[in-house]
Structure 1
């Protein structure tokens, strides 16, 4: 499989530059209303909510400049802000996490966006 990545403004391939020269933002889509496991992002795992574990693991990646959680749920927003994370609120009508990510990505300026699935 070959994937071509083109920066929307410059028309260049950002992967042709060293990772340190790129502006990279990670987005973690997160929703509370799962049909199989409602509230999963906030479930306690070893004393911390699952979303915090995911956020901290992403923060350990040296090439990420910024990490955002994209959610439509105030409980998730409050939890993320409590541990010092950055949140963007989205519409509740998204069918997928990638749709939620796309809403947030429209308002960002960077070279790459990484979609981090938290479950």
Structure 2
């Protein structure tokens, strides 16, 4: 059994580009961010759970609920940067990034991530993340679904919003995988990321994991069937509300 200190960090921007204010939208009597916080706490996998945010509105909501919230002091372009600022002075080993807009996070999937580090005796894994198989052409072509390809040992080679791999040889069967936006990192890898500049590839794709890969970090991908519902649009919010009925 691992003796690492494991915390969950939920980065929570108020001004999401596709659905501004979505984390404060009502989801069965509580804001989306509170539902996500509740879900992370209920897994009992973490020593602590925090929401880290640039919004006084979200900060106050979490604090009033009785949760733990941290205000960002700097502007950040991605969740990893926001989390890194929050944990830089904390004594922690493993940090799990739980997306604030995924209130149906699954205990089994999170346990799969933590198991990677439990088994990594040589500490050769910098990050672990989840992937799920895509089966419909619509999902494969959807740029909102970040795709990932891996090597034969399930370490990530690249992430893209484009369909990867390109299926040129139609007589060859290939699988497509979506990167599920929950991942875990060793604190050192996270702080290294924080101190490295964003590359044109990362800026172009708007995928922060690319920065890790370009700087030699290893990302172990774990296939899961535990698909969570992310809330990127008002339509997604309606689907989420249906699950509480």
Q: Pick the structure with greater CA Rg.
A: 2
2:73: which partner in 1? 91
The CA distance in 2 between the partners of 1:114 and 1:106, in whole Å, is: 14
User: What is the CA-CA distance between 1:92 and the residue it aligns to?
Assistant: 4.8
Secondary structure of 1:110's aligned partner: coil
Q: CA RMSD in A?
A: 1.2
Give the gaps of 5 or more residues in structure 1.
1-17
1:23: which partner in 2? 5
The CA distance in 2 between the partners of 1:115 and 1:88, in whole Å, is: 14
1:32: which partner in 2? 14
- Does 2:23 align with 1:41? yes
- Does 2:31 align with 1:63? no
TM-score calculated relative to the size of structure 1: 0.80
The CA distance in 2 between the partners of 1:31 and 1:23, in whole Å, is: 26
- Does 2:58 align with 1:54? no
**May I ask how many residue pairs the two structures share in their alignment?**
101
Secondary structure of 2:37's aligned partner: helix
The CA distance in 1 between the partners of 2:74 and 2:95, in whole Å, is: 21
User: What is the CA-CA distance between 1:110 and the residue it aligns to?
Assistant: 1.4
User: What is the CA-CA distance between 1:43 and the residue it aligns to?
Assistant: 0.5
Greater RCO, 1 or 2 (C-alpha within 8 Å, sep 6+): 1
- Does 2:93 align with 1:111? yes
Give the gaps of 5 or more residues in structure 2.
102-245
After TM superposition, what 4+ stretches of structure 1 lie above 2 angstroms from structure 2?
none
Secondary structure of 1:118's aligned partner: coil
- Does 2:62 align with 1:80? yes
Q: Deviations over 1:3-39 (max 9, x none)?
A: xxxxxxxxxxxxxxx14x2211110000111122111
1:8: which partner in 2? none
User: What is the CA-CA distance between 1:60 and the residue it aligns to?
Assistant: 1.1
TM-score calculated relative to the size of structure 2: 0.40
